[in-house]
Amino acid sequence: MTVLRSDEWYAGQDRNAYIHRAWMRRGLPDSAFAGRPQIAIANTASDLTPCNSHLDEVAEHVKRGVWEAGGVPLNLPVVSLGETQVRPTAMLWRNMAAMAIEEMLRANPIDGVVLLGGCDKTIPALLMAAASVDLPAVVLPGGPMLTGTFRGTPLGCGTDVWRLSEEVRAGTLGEAAFLDSESSMIRSRGHCNTMGTASTMGLLAEALGMTLPGTAGIPAADSRLLARSHATGRLAVEMVAAGRRPSTVLTAASFHNAIVTLAALGGSTNAVVHLLAIAGRLGVPLTLDDFDRIGAGVPLLVNLQPAGKYLMEDLYRAGGLHAVLREVADLLDPTAPTVTGTPLLGHLADSPILDTDVIRPRTGPLLPDAGIAVLRGNLAPAGAIIKPAAASPHLLRHRGRAVVFDSVEDLHARLDDPDLDVDADSVLVLRGCGPRGYPGMPEVANMPLPAKLLQQGVRDMVRVCDGRMSGTAYGTVVLHVAPEAAAGGPLDRIRTGDIIVLDVPARTISVDVPDDELAARAPSAVLTDAFARPARGWTKLYVDTVLGADTGADLDFLLGSSGDRVARESH
C-alpha cells in the first residue's frame, strides 16, 4: 500500500489528526481522509486573467476524474497573471507566483497536483513551483481561443494588433476601422490563438512530458478538452501511486525535446527564459547555448502566425503537436519520459498530418533552419537571442547607425518626432528594459517603427533591446541582451551614431567601437537618473536578487528545490 504524504495530517487518533479531519469534513465521508490520495488542483482561474477565466469549469471535470480514480480533489486557487492586464509587466510577478504556489503545495496536506494554466506566465510559474516542491504533478493547459474574423479575414491575437496599429500610424488604415476590429479579436474562451507565448508554453509542457499526451493545443471551447480534463484527474491519482514526480519526468532529454519542438513550431522567444528557469529549479544543466546547439538545424514546420498565416485552431485540426513531432522524431531524444510513465516517442506513431499547408512535411518546410539563434559579441558578452523565423531575411546581416532610447518613456516621447535622425538602415536600440532595469523585463523589444518611415513603406528594421517581446510579435529583433544595461552591461554605453553590426549566420552582435573606448564611457541615464531602486515590497526583493535573462531571470535564492517535507506541526 502506498504511504501517502497526506497521512501525516489525517492518519491517527491524536488531537492534531482530529483537527485536520474535522475542519475539512464539510460533507465529506469518513473515507475521504487517511489512505486516499489528496489531489490539489492548482487553479489559475481569474476574471482578471481573461485567458484563464474558463478554468473553473475545467477544474470541475478534473475533479470528476480524481473521484473516479479513488482520490479526493481539492481546488486550490493560486496566483494568476493576466498578460494583458498586469502592470508594469507580468514577468515581474512570475517568480512571485512560482514561489507562492510552491509554498502552498508544500504547506498543505496533498499528495499530487494538477496544474491548470494558460496565459503566458501561468504555465511557467506552475512548472517552476512543481519542480521545486517535487510532488507528483501534471499540467493541464487551458487551450487557445477559436479564430475570430474581421471583414472576412481571420484575426491573430496580438500579431494583428501589432500589424493593424502600425497601419494606422502609417496612414493606410483608419482609426475607426482599427477600433471596429477590437470586438472581433477575441471570439471565445481561451488564450491567444497565434503561436505566442501561451500556445508555445502549453505545447512545450507536452513536449517536456508534463501533460497527458494529446492534450496540449486542444481549443478551449472544444468539449474534447473537458474529456481530457477528466482523464488528467485520473492520471494524477495514478501518478501518486507510481511515485512519478517532476524530477523523474523533467530530464535533460526532456529539455532537449522541448528545444527541438520550439524550433519546429516557430515558438515564442519567451520560452527560452522560461525553460532556463524551470531547468534551474531542477538542477538540469541547461544553458543559453543549448538552444542554438540543439535547435539551429531544426526546420520550421508549423505555418502559424506570427511566422506564418494560420492559427491554433488550424494546427489542431491539421493533426496537432503529435503530427509535428512525428516529422522530427529522429531529432528527439527517445529516452525522454512522460507523466504516463511511457516515452514521448511512443505516442507519435498514429499521428498523420491532415493539412500539409498548416503543418508542412519535413521535405517541404517553411524554413530549413528555424531555431532560436544565440548571438554574442561586445554588445552582448553573456548572449542575446533572435528568432530568425520572425525576422526579415535581408536584415539578418546588417550594419547600421544606432538610434538610442534610454527607456520606454523616452522611446514614446521621441519616436515619431519628425526631426528624429533615423532612416531605414538605422538600428533602434532600447535599454533599461531588462529584469532589473524596468524592473521585470517587459515585452517592448519589438519597438514600433518611426511614423515617418512607416509612411515611406518601411515595415521592418533591426531593433536591439535588453527586454523581451511578445511571442505574437514579429520583426528583426535582437532581445534578451545580457548583461542588461541596468546591470552595467555594454548596452548601457552605446551612443546614438555608433555603428551596430548584426550577423545572424555568424551569431554575432557588436558595436564598431574600440573596447577601451566603450569601457571608458560614462554610464547612461539607465544607471543614474532613470534607474530608481525600489524601496520596499516584492519589487525591492526582485531587483535585489533577480538573475540575468541568460540564466532564466529567476531569483538567486529560488534556484534548486526544497522538496515536499514540512518538519513541524502547526498545533
Return the pLDDT at 531: 55
Is residue 221 within 8 A of residue 190, CB to CB? The reply is yes
Answer yes or no: do 424 and 490 share one domain.
yes
Return the pLDDT at 167: 84
In a domain, 360, yes or no: no
Q: Rounded to a whole number, what is the largest CA-CA distance in the chain?
A: 80
In a domain, 455, yes or no: yes
Answer yes or no: do 78 and 67 share one domain.
yes
Determine the Cα–Cα distance for residues 35 and 549; give it in Å rounded to an integer: 44
Write out the E strands in 314-446.
373-377, 380-386, 397-405, 427-430
What's the gap between Cα 252 and its chain centre?
A: 19
In a domain, 551, yes or no: no
Determine the Cα–Cα distance for residues 481 and 431; give it in Å rounded to an integer: 9
In the numeric block, which cell numbers belong to residue 44? 489559475
336: which residues sit within 8 A by CB, 6+ positions away? 209, 251, 253, 254, 256, 257, 343, 344, 345
Is residue 235 within 8 A of residue 341, CB to CB? The reply is no
Answer yes or no: do 341 and 245 share one domain.
yes
Return the pLDDT at 458: 95
pTM for this structure?
Answer: 0.96
Question: pLDDT tens per residue, the chain (571 residues)?
Answer: 578 999 999 999 999 999 999 999 988 988 999 889 999 999 999 999 999 999 999 999 999 999 999 999 999 999 999 998 999 999 999 999 999 999 999 999 999 999 999 999 999 999 999 999 999 999 999 999 999 888 888 888 877 887 888 888 888 888 888 888 888 888 999 999 999 999 999 999 999 999 999 999 999 999 999 999 999 999 999 999 999 999 999 999 999 999 999 999 999 999 999 999 999 999 999 999 999 999 999 999 999 998 889 999 999 999 999 999 999 999 999 999 999 999 999 999 899 999 999 999 999 999 998 889 999 999 999 999 999 988 999 999 999 999 999 999 999 999 999 999 999 999 999 999 999 999 999 999 999 999 999 999 999 999 999 999 987 778 999 999 999 999 999 999 999 999 999 999 999 999 999 999 999 998 887 776 545 678 899 999 999 999 999 999 999 999 999 999 987 887 7
Answer yes or no: do 397 and 511 share one domain.
yes
What's the gap between Cα 103 and its chain centre?
A: 22
Q: Using alpha carbons, list the distances in angstroms from residue 522 to 26, 353, 525.
A: 65, 57, 10
In a domain, 538, yes or no: no
Cis check for the bond before 306: say yes or no (omega within 30 of 0).
Answer: yes
Which domain-ending residue is among 332, 347, 362?
A: 347
Answer yes or no: do 181 and 251 share one domain.
no
Return the pLDDT at 530: 45
In the numeric block, which cell numbers belong to residue 33? 481522509
In a domain, 550, yes or no: no
Total structural domains in the chain? 4
In a domain, 354, yes or no: no
Q: What is the CA radius of gyration of the chain?
A: 24
In a domain, 159, yes or no: yes
Q: Using alpha carbons, list the distances in angstroms from residue 489 to 123, 211, 483.
A: 30, 39, 5
Answer yes or no: do 224 and 95 share one domain.
yes
In the numeric block, which cell numbers belong to residue 184? 472581433
Is residue 90 within 8 A of residue 81, CB to CB? The reply is yes
Answer yes or no: do 512 and 389 share one domain.
yes
Q: How many CB atoms lie within 10 A of CB 172?
A: 12
Is residue 112 within 8 A of residue 82, CB to CB? The reply is no
Is residue 300 within 8 A of residue 370, CB to CB? The reply is yes
Bridge pairing between strands 137-141 and 153-155: unpaired
Return the pLDDT at 468: 96
Which domain-ending residue is among 163, 185, 207?
A: 185
Q: Please tell me the total number of residues recorded for the chain in this structure.
A: 571
Strand partners, 41: 75, 114
Answer yes or no: do 248 and 100 share one domain.
yes
Answer yes or no: do 210 and 302 share one domain.
yes
Answer yes or no: do 72 and 140 share one domain.
yes
Answer yes or no: do 456 and 328 share one domain.
no
| Residue 168: burial class (beta carbons within 10 Å; 0-12, 13-18, 19+) | middle
What CATH number corresponds to the domain at position 502? 3.50.30.80
Axis-axis angle for helices 252-265, 320-327 (nearest 10)? 100
Is residue 258 within 8 A of residue 336, CB to CB? The reply is no
In 3D space, the residue among 484, 481, 461 whose CA is nearest the CA of residue 401 turns out to be 461
Look up residue 300 and give its DSSP letter: B
Answer yes or no: do 307 and 266 share one domain.
yes
Return the pLDDT at 3: 84
In a domain, 337, yes or no: yes
Q: Give the range of the structural domain holding residue 505, as residue numbers without chain letter.
A: 373-532
Determine the Cα–Cα distance for residues 218 and 202; give it in Å rounded to an integer: 10
